[in-house]
Chains A and B, each alone.
Chain A
Amino acid sequence: MLRLTCTTTRIVHPGSLYRVTSITGPCDPNHRSPTESQLFKSIAQFCAQLAPGVRRRKTSLFKDIEHLVRLAVVMAIALIAFVGLRAVVVPHSFGQYGHYRGAAIAEIAARPAAFAGHDVCEACHTDVVDQKKLGKHVVVPCEACHGAQSKHADDPASVKPAKLDTAVTCARCHEANSAKPKAFPQVVTADHSGGLACDTCHQPHRPRIEEASQTKPATERKK
């Protein structure tokens, strides 16, 4: 059962070039609606009245080809608009490596580094390297204590690293904590130095005190 409402309904009759623009059916719920076959019969009659001379074209592949052409034109315009917009909106490098903007990789890689790296430090501060080689702090990279020094490395004359407060810097690593590895040298700074700066007694680049007076051969130092 096809129920038509008061709103305008557009139906194309299958055999006709003409179009029924609107058929208004009953909207009263008490009124009995026409059956589907009845409806189509009435449409066919209506069309026959409107276009008595029209015949079905037997040679064409598609019926009502102009509708298809119209649809194709609309689709083609939409496709061109889509392709055109996409070319403008989507970044050029999108999809270069995957479903993302390929140029983002180079942008992220272009960020300047804040930490110069200990190789850069050691190129100039050879005296400190020699000192560190004599003690356990040889494994500690420069910027672990001195902080990011890339700017100093780029311009050593004008950018000078700040002097460190050893009471704070040393304690960060060597303050006793039960979660630290047992073999790691730890002190309770309050008991050990009473808040005194560590470099009062220790030389930070070569922290073991007796090592400062007598230098041991290389083989003895490795434990």
Chain B
Amino acid sequence: MDITRRRLLMLLPAAAVAWQYVQAGTPEASPNYKMTDHWWGMLIDIPKCIGCGSCVRACAEENDVPEGYYRTWIERYHVADWKIEKPEVESPEGGKQGFPPNHDVGGKNFFVPKLCNHCVESPCTQVCPVGATFVTPDGVVLVDKTYCLGCRYCVQACPYGCRFINPKTNTAEKCSLCYHRITKGLTTACCEVCPTGARQLADLKNPKDPIHEFLRTHTVQVLKPHMATGAKVFYNGMDGSVR
């Protein structure tokens, strides 16, 4: 068939429509889950966090995280009076067993749960030399452990220190936002067990998700906004001393 100008013009719209389907990809393991319908993030409400460590324990159990490594962890901040630039931060065992009592220390004290920020412009995926880590079409940063070489570039690239090398597999590991759960309609393990609702999974593409109302009406920050990573873990009521 000769490609005449007329035929080309007729084919182009059809090709454009087809390309949409190519980009949308094939259906995943969960039959009713469409990746293009979601854009995942998380909301962390710092004034609600009690530092109980439930999220850290749940994450370790759900994802088989090796002892001494953390996909999510809790930090306890102590800011003495005006020393906002020099907070004292501690995270014994990632806060897995809670925190030792600190009565009458004065100043400002609060907990900050941390996890992978599932950045849109994630530095870790940009440095991976083999394409073993990537942002999925639904906005989750994942690691393909069968493809990872364990070169540690991503561990160094993450400005939030969210990655580590699993000593068993010698591959990079990090929070997967419980991708195996959220694609089945469940929430993440950490959000599931949070007793105060300090952690909430957010689907930014779902107009009915309460996250939109929350973001509109609260003073919300992301960690290290100057890094321009496009972080999708939003912190409510976060103090300026948080690093």
Interface string of A176-196 (1 = CB under 8 A from B): 111111001000100000000
Asked if A188 and B101 sit within 8 Å, CB to CB, the answer is yes
- The residue in chain A whose Cβ has the minimal distance to the Cβ of B146 is A104
Asked if B187 and A104 sit within 8 Å, CB to CB, the answer is no
Asked if A99 and B98 sit within 8 Å, CB to CB, the answer is no
Supposing A106-B29, A144-B193 touch, asked if A177 and B51 sit within 8 A by C-beta, the answer is: yes
Asked if B58 and A178 sit within 8 Å, CB to CB, the answer is no
Asked if B193 and A115 sit within 8 Å, CB to CB, the answer is yes
Pick the residue among B58, B101, B147 that contacts A175 (CB under 8 A): B101
Asked if A101 and B131 sit within 8 Å, CB to CB, the answer is yes
Asked if B61 and A114 sit within 8 Å, CB to CB, the answer is yes
- The residue in chain B whose Cβ has the minimal distance to the Cβ of A93 is B26
Interface string of A15-54 (1 = CB under 8 A from B): 0000000000000000000000000000000000000000
Asked if A117 and B192 sit within 8 Å, CB to CB, the answer is yes
Pick the residue among B134, B186, B193 that contacts A113 (CB under 8 A): B186
Asked if B61 and A148 sit within 8 Å, CB to CB, the answer is yes
A-B pairs with beta carbons under 8 Å apart, 9 shown: A109-B180, A115-B189, A117-B192, A139-B195, A144-B192, A148-B58, A177-B98, A179-B77, A184-B50
Counting chain B residues whose Cβ lies within 8 A of the other chain, the interface size class is 35 or more
Pick the residue among A99, A101, A113 that contacts B184 (CB under 8 A): A113
User: How far apart are A168's CB and chain B's nearest CB, in angstroms?
Assistant: 10
- The residue in chain B whose Cβ has the minimal distance to the Cβ of A146 is B193
Chain A residues contacting B51 (CB-CB under 8 Å) are 177, 179-180
User: For the complex, would chain B's binding face be called helix, strand, loop or mixed by DSSP majority?
Assistant: loop
Pick the residue among B30, B35, B62, B101 that contacts A176 (CB under 8 A): B101
Pick the residue among B105, B176, B197 that contacts A178 (CB under 8 A): B105
Does A141 sit within 8 A of B, measured CB to CB? yes
Asked if A105 and B142 sit within 8 Å, CB to CB, the answer is yes
Using a CB–CB cutoff of 8 Å, the interface residues on chain A facing chain B are 94, 96-102, 104-115, 117-118, 139-141, 143-145, 147-148, 171-173, 175-181, 184, 188
- The residue in chain B whose Cβ has the minimal distance to the Cβ of A147 is B61
CA distance A112 to B30 in the complex (A): 12
Does B40 sit within 8 A of A, measured CB to CB? no
User: For the complex, would chain A's binding face be called helix, strand, loop or mixed by DSSP majority?
Assistant: loop
Pick the residue among A112, A173, A177 that contacts B102 (CB under 8 A): A177
Chain B residues contacting A114 (CB-CB under 8 Å) are 61-62, 189
CA distance A104 to B172 in the complex (A): 14
Pick the residue among B53, B77, B134 that contacts A99 (CB under 8 A): B134
Does B76 sit within 8 A of A, measured CB to CB? yes
Supposing A104-B147, A117-B186, A178-B104 touch, asked if A141 and B29 sit within 8 A by C-beta, the answer is: no
Chain B residues contacting A111 (CB-CB under 8 Å) are 180
CA distance A57 to B140 in the complex (A): 65
Asked if B133 and A172 sit within 8 Å, CB to CB, the answer is no
User: How far apart are B207's CB and chain A's nearest CB, in angstroms?
Assistant: 23
- Chain B residues numbered 68-85 whose CB sits less than 8 Å from any CB in chain A: 76-78
- The residue in chain B whose Cβ has the minimal distance to the Cβ of A182 is B47
Supposing A100-B134, A184-B50 touch, asked if A108 and B179 sit within 8 A by C-beta, the answer is: yes
- The residue in chain B whose Cβ has the minimal distance to the Cβ of A120 is B186
User: How far apart are A136's CB and chain B's nearest CB, in angstroms?
Assistant: 10
